[in-house]
Structure 1
Amino acid sequence: MPAEGRARALGLQALPDRVLRLDPALPFGDERDLDLLPNTLPPQRHLGYAVQWFGLALTVLVVALVLERRRSRPIAR
């Protein structure tokens, strides 16, 4: 059901198809926090995360290959 139909069914005024953005100068609403935070992580920490995630990806790949190989072999009876 389109927005106009819902508004009419509920007896409300339909809103235009626009994005409503809050004005930080108004006394109500959320404050905008657009401050850029400094990067406090040292390069070793970034490298550690990269190694960790590549290791996890490699582990998942190896497990998937082993399971696929076991599934494709015929069952010996």
Structure 2
Amino acid sequence: MTLLQKPFRALVIGSSGTIGSALVSTLQMHSNCAEVMGIHRGSIPSIDYADPSTIATAAEALAAHRPFDLIIN
């Protein structure tokens, strides 16, 4: 059973690391994935759990986009 059957949007938090970048690549190849967005310390918006202000800033920036169907942290 495929859980995400319709075209879906995905967000990968921590997409610059080994696992995160592999997840982004895999999702980009998925036939039902319409869009993959990855964020990390060097992206715009950036996110760094050591700096709580970046979490709020990233959340505000991402709220301007359509909702994500899949979020991987």
TM-score range, shorter chain: under 0.3
Structure (1/2) with the larger helix percentage? 1
Question: Could you say which structure has the greater relative contact order, defined with CA pairs below 8 angstroms and 6 or more residues apart?
Answer: 2
Structure (1/2) with the larger strand percentage? 2
Q: Which has the larger radius of gyration?
A: 1
